[in-house]
Structure 1
Amino acid sequence: MPTAARLGAAALAGALLAGAAAPALADTATPSPSSSAPASSSASASSAPASSASPSPSSGVPAGLYGKGDPQYDGVWRQSLALIALQQEKVEPAGAAVQWLLGQQCEDGGWPSYRAEGTPCTPATEDTNATSMAVQALTALGGHQQPVTRATDWLRAHQNPDGSWAYNPGAPGDANSTAVVLNGLLAAGLDPASVSAGGRSGWDGLASFQLGCATPADQRGAFLYQPAPGTPAAADTIASAQALLAAAGGHLPVTTTDRKDAPPKALACDGGQGTGPGTGTVAHADSAEADAAWLTARLAADGQHLTAKTPGADTPTPAYDSTAWTVLGLVAAGHPAEAASAADWLAGNAFPWAAQGKDGTNPAATATLVLTARAAKLDPYNFGGANLVQLLIDSGPKPESAPAAGDPQATRAPGSAITEPDENSGFSAGWLIGLALAVGVVVVVLLSLNRRRQKAASPADSAPAPDAAADTDDRPEQTR
């Protein structure tokens, strides 16, 4: 069945051949990214909304930082994601961008979300999410073993006795932070089974948030954000999405793994297993499959993307971040087939999340989509018609070097990844120019053939009969 993009391409070609103005094709506006943030109490930097009352840095956004928005809550997070994504695409970032990230590290090895230049480190402001993402960025870049080791030592020193990690050290652990820390440890080559506190490993800490057989069937395999006394355990979308990559033993950037032929297996329960969250009832060997099965069911129920209900909203809205993390986790868990439709949905719908926020390009969102596209074997240089790599490059300091063009093996057909007929695609400027040039070549060839035909005709042949002079239907098609 033709996609909207292919039908649009045909219409555009027809318009150009007819000499008519081509219609502008672009993504339809979708809700603001902030309105789709999950209604979770998670403090994860990837999902926590910035306070509208937060002050902007007095010195403005640093020159080496990606993005123009206030970095107070996500400076290190978005910088790290940007560096990981650009490194994956063989873009050598500006030295100032790397130095800015290195300069944010505190002497004890941890990173805060952001600190203005000249501001001393405060241990209370250091967080595990920023530190773990910085570890993944510096590991991907290579050549930064000393700061990476200091950071992993800091993470090990702030593990909770139950094996988990909190956003800020000293607080109760949560699934999001624990998962992101495990991503960092895995990127640095550390086995979470050997990182422990109080006799509980990192895997034990993650398992403490997974819902097992004692919970309702439609919750099993998912992760809750954090147990709350007196509150029934409930699946949390962003927690489940971020936990999957860690449960699968993965980190950023996501690389190809062994592909499983069968869909993910739901948690097998015989009616007598487990006593609820916090008891480690879901074995580590079953963790990723159970979570993947729950997330796959949620994708199918919500139209191949995840949704979340924000406070005060009557209906759920698209959760772009959760959907992207789910794609990354499914690929890492060996289920790219189950991730494909969600990646297609992002290609058709996530451009406003990446590029149309109040501060313009959102580097964290854009970088996440670059990583998601590549993991799903789509083209980040033409993701639903958008060149995400260039968008990310343009949001920060000029890189030292970058490929002259996108991946030569990648698709160049705008919207070709989109399978749903009503999704938006947009068209890249390069594709439009190429189409116009192709049309121009056809016109030149036709005109040349017409001239040859006219030149070969005799004067007698070329003079129309008096009674046929007005019969233009007998003239060649090209001269009408």
Structure 2
Amino acid sequence: MKFRRSATALAATTTVVAAGTAVVLGAAVPSVAATPSPSAPVALPDGLYGTADPTYDGVWRQSLALLAQDTVGVTPADKAVEWLAGQQCADGAFAPFRADAAKSCDAKLLTDTNSTAAAVQALAALGGYDAVTDKAVAWLKSVQNEDGGWGYSPGGASDTNSTSVVVGALTAVGEQPGKVRKDDRSPYDALVKLALPCKGDGAGAFAYQPDKKGGLAANADATAAGVVGALGKGLVVKGGKQAAATCADAGYPTPQQAAANGASYLAGALTEDGYLKSVLPGAEDQPDYGNTADAVVALAAQGGAARAEKPLRWLERNSASWAKQSGPAAYAQLVFAAHATGTDPRDFGGTDLVAQLNATGPAPRTEQVLENTDTAEQKDTAEKKDDGDTGYGTWWTVGVFLVAGIGIGFLISGRRKQQP
């Protein structure tokens, strides 16, 4: 969402070469500022999910992976959680990746709101990391903009995606986003200012940021993020009660009305094909899997699971290859879409998203229980225990967890939104 957060505007099957690095497009990664490609390959930490260069998305994809596992009742490996917590800088912020966490963060290390807010959501859900999340939230509050929102980088202009993922972090730790204010403006004020009116092109959508002249252009990815953020929710949501998604201008809209307007825009954009399309200038007319998954979450959050059925079914039929190519964050997005709509992520169009996600990182603790059990009777007991934890039925065999998705990984694609 992403977000966040959430999704990219690029298609999964397209590859480009940037700064000498092959990039797989379509994976969910946060917006990133232009930074030079690393001069040498980065050694992959033992606890990290995914096999691609983590320089620009390590914390993001780790956070989404751990959050998705927690959402379906899987207990991540301790070393995976410790790696994420250990990425925090002394001031509370997170950067996309720190190769040497023992080295103090300095001015050359670019920390950002998206990585920090995603880490907060994951660690808050897992529990036991209050000191880490409290410090991270304090840092996020310290870099809040005067309009109430957040940009990707501290001091950068507020954008819908960054503001929304921070709203999710605040909610995750029990804060009321509407009460987190700068110059008497809250995150909701910032989001409403980025919402388009119900007349003209992009009616009801959210823009990523205003253009240089202050105008707003509809952005589907930002809209999915904005709907969830305006509702005060995070990356993981449950389908809301059935609610209208008609666009209605009523002066200065409430956050709830802005969310309904955004949902109306998304529903219209998905009517014809059931998926969102790439918005990268010059790109072919092709599906954007990550943004479509985010739209499912947004529609379900605002108006219930039935509202998201068409794009959900499209994802069930078409997303397996994209997720396999794109890696842990993509699997996490699909898990979030399944969760929001009450769909079984262990049978998502015939794909076990949980097994595939688990296989991209260190074996979860629940998996290790089965692996280290000696007798058939003990294994049966462990499996039954896991069934109670997950709520989705019998676990697949350990072999599936260990071999599925070997070699899966992706190299980052930027989520910096293109302005007209």
**Equivalent residue number for residue 20 of structure 2:** none
**Equivalent residue number for residue 346 of structure 2:** 381
Give the deviation of 1:371 after TM superposition.
1.6
List aligned pairs for 1:218-233, cutoff 5 A: 218-230=201-213, 232-233=215-216
Q: TM-score, normalised by structure 1?
A: 0.69
Could you tell me which amino acid in structure 1 is paired with residue 216 of structure 2? Answer: A
Q: How many angstroms apart in 2 are the aligned matches of 1:411 and 1:375?
A: 21
Q: How many angstroms apart in 2 are the aligned matches of 1:294 and 1:46?
A: 22
Could you tell me which amino acid in structure 1 is paired with residue 316 of structure 2? Answer: A
Give the deviation of 1:230 after TM superposition.
2.7
Q: Does 1:31 align with 2:16?
A: no
Q: Which one has a bigger Cα radius of gyration? A: 1
SS in 2 for 1:318: coil
Q: How many angstroms apart in 2 are the aligned matches of 1:197 and 1:30?
A: 39
Give the deviation of 1:165 after TM superposition.
0.3
List aligned pairs for 1:77-156, cutoff 5 A: 77-117=60-100, 118-122=102-106, 125-156=110-141
Could you tell me which amino acid in structure 2 is paired with residue 264 of structure 1? Answer: A
SS in 1 for 2:169: helix
List aligned pairs for 1:266-281, cutoff 5 A: 266-268=247-249, 273=251, 281=252
Q: How many angstroms apart in 1 are the aligned matches of 2:232 and 2:294?
A: 14
**Equivalent residue number for residue 264 of structure 2:** 293
The 3 A distance-change label for structure 1 pair 385 and 50 is farther
8 Å contact kept, 2:26–2:322: no
The 3 A distance-change label for structure 1 pair 32 and 409 is same
Q: How many angstroms apart in 2 are the aligned matches of 1:185 and 1:350?
A: 31
Give the deviation of 1:48 after TM superposition.
5.6
Q: Does 1:172 align with 2:141?
A: no
Q: 1:71 aligns with which of 54, 77, 80?
A: 54
Q: How many angstroms apart in 2 are the aligned matches of 1:334 and 1:146?
A: 35
Could you tell me which amino acid in structure 2 is paired with residue 224 of structure 1? Answer: A
8 Å contact kept, 2:304–2:341: no
8 Å contact kept, 2:231–2:256: no
SS in 1 for 2:128: coil
**Equivalent residue number for residue 333 of structure 1:** 302
List aligned pairs for 1:293-312, cutoff 5 A: 293-301=264-272, 303-312=273-282
SS in 1 for 2:365: coil
The 3 A distance-change label for structure 1 pair 122 and 220 is farther
Structure 1 range deviating more: 332-341 or 64-73: 332-341
List aligned pairs for 1:229-240, cutoff 5 A: 229-230=212-213, 232-240=215-223
SS in 1 for 2:48: coil
**Equivalent residue number for residue 9 of structure 1:** none
Give the deviation of 1:59 after TM superposition.
4.9
Q: Unaligned regions of 5+ residues in structure 2, if any?
A: 1-10, 16-22, 368-381, 402-420
Give the deviation of 1:328 after TM superposition.
1.0
Q: How many angstroms apart in 2 are the aligned matches of 1:411 and 1:104?
A: 35
RMSD of Structure 2 on Structure 1 (CA): 2.8
8 Å contact kept, 1:37–1:308: no
Q: How many angstroms apart in 2 are the aligned matches of 1:366 and 1:129?
A: 19
The 3 A distance-change label for structure 1 pair 409 and 102 is closer
For residues 88-125 of structure 1, give each alpha carbon's deviation from its aligned partner in whole angstroms, at most 9, with x where no partner exists: 12111111101100110011111001111144313561
Large movers: runs of 4+ above 3 Å: 32-38, 44-51, 56-59, 402-412
Q: Does 1:264 align with 2:235?
A: no
SS in 2 for 1:143: coil
Q: TM-score, normalised by structure 2?
A: 0.79
Q: How many angstroms apart in 1 are the aligned matches of 2:106 and 2:221?
A: 28
Could you tell me which amino acid in structure 1 is paired with residue 111 of structure 2? Answer: E
Q: How many angstroms apart in 1 are the aligned matches of 2:394 and 2:268?
A: 29
Q: How many angstroms apart in 2 are the aligned matches of 1:322 and 1:185?
A: 23
The 3 A distance-change label for structure 1 pair 381 and 409 is closer
8 Å contact kept, 2:195–2:207: yes
Identity %: 39
Figure out how many residues of one structure are paired with residues of the other and give that number.
360
Give the deviation of 1:319 after TM superposition.
1.1
Give the deviation of 1:32 after TM superposition.
3.9
**Equivalent residue number for residue 244 of structure 1:** 227
Give the deviation of 1:263 after TM superposition.
3.9
The 3 A distance-change label for structure 1 pair 89 and 188 is same
Q: How many angstroms apart in 1 are the aligned matches of 2:178 and 2:187?
A: 6
8 Å contact kept, 2:74–2:364: yes
**Equivalent residue number for residue 442 of structure 1:** none
For residues 348-404 of structure 1, give each alpha carbon's deviation from its aligned partner in whole angstroms, at most 9, with x where no partner exists: 1111221024xxxx1100111112112212221121111111111111011111484
8 Å contact kept, 2:31–2:152: no
SS in 1 for 2:317: helix
List aligned pairs for 1:426-437, cutoff 5 A: none
Could you tell me which amino acid in structure 2 is paired with residue 189 of structure 1? Answer: G
8 Å contact kept, 1:57–1:70: no
Q: How many angstroms apart in 2 are the aligned matches of 1:136 and 1:181?
A: 9
List aligned pairs for 1:443-458, cutoff 5 A: none
Q: Return the structure number with greater relative CO, CA threshold 8 A, min gap 6.
A: 2
The 3 A distance-change label for structure 1 pair 231 and 209 is closer
Give the deviation of 1:408 after TM superposition.
6.6
The 3 A distance-change label for structure 1 pair 371 and 410 is farther
The 3 A distance-change label for structure 1 pair 254 and 408 is closer
Give the deviation of 1:46 after TM superposition.
3.3
8 Å contact kept, 1:253–1:371: yes
8 Å contact kept, 1:165–1:177: yes
SS in 1 for 2:117: helix
Could you tell me which amino acid in structure 2 is paired with residue 142 of structure 1? Answer: G
Could you tell me which amino acid in structure 2 is paired with residue 190 of structure 1? Answer: E
